[in-house]
Chain A
Amino acid sequence: AQSVAQPEDQVNVAEGNPLTVKCTYSVSGNPYLFWYVQYPNRGLQFLLKYITGDNLVKGSYGFEAEFNKSQTSFHLKKPSALVSDSALYFCAVREVRDYKLSFGAGTTVTVRA
């Protein structure tokens, strides 16, 4: 079985400040980990993924995420948030041999000007 937890329903930050969105996961084997972003009335857009190797993964729009195996976490980060980063963010996990992704409940990010 696999599952994802996003402990914060909402994250609020001021523009220019660092942004962190938390994610922890549970899988029985090795994980593939993903972050997606959803803007209002749109589908999900892929941001970045962890497969193997370097624990720090860089993705689209200046986002990065750090894989921590001992803490089973994959937190999303951006050094300097923009108002346009306001959206709903989903973390997802898939066990390497599985077909299916499991999604977290999502975290709403609001960046105030």
Chain B
Amino acid sequence: NAGVTQTPKFRILKIGQSMTLQCAQDMNHNYMYWYRQDPGMGLKLIYYSVGAGITDKGEVPNGYNVSRSTTEDFPLRLELAAPSQTSVYFCASRLTSGAYEQYFGPGTRLTVT
């Protein structure tokens, strides 16, 4: 199993540009999550999904969109990049309801200038 994979690893965007951060998992996990990590702030939840076709907002959804057309993939879309979106983004997944831990991808480091 590759686990949770994320692409790209690094990206520099100009203000106003758009991009999609890719996330895929091969563990047949129903639940998937997107977080951003800023220094000293821990992880903040952006969006999550409990299954294909179902998504919901987390703590900090503004400026982002997601879709979940398959169990495996959960892309995160930034439509109009802003400097405040400079961060490290992590995708995570877990099996289903119950006391299961989340598995994290390696992260995407995004800089908006």
Contact = CB atoms under 8 A, between A and B. Distances in A.
B42 interface: yes
A46 B45 CA distance: 17
Interface of B: 4, 31, 33, 40-43, 45, 48, 50, 58, 90, 92, 97, 99, 101-107
Interface of A: 4, 9, 32, 34, 36, 41-46, 49, 51, 90, 96, 99-101, 103-106
A34 B101 contact: yes
A49 B101 contact: yes
30 contacts: A4-B42, A32-B99, A34-B101, A34-B102, A36-B104, A41-B107, A42-B106, A42-B107, A43-B4, A43-B90, A43-B104, A44-B90, A44-B102, A44-B104, A46-B101, A49-B99, A90-B42, A90-B43, A99-B48, A99-B50, A99-B97, A100-B33, A100-B45, A100-B58, A101-B45, A101-B102, A103-B42, A103-B43, A104-B42, A105-B41
A interface: dominant SS: loop
Contacts of A104: 42
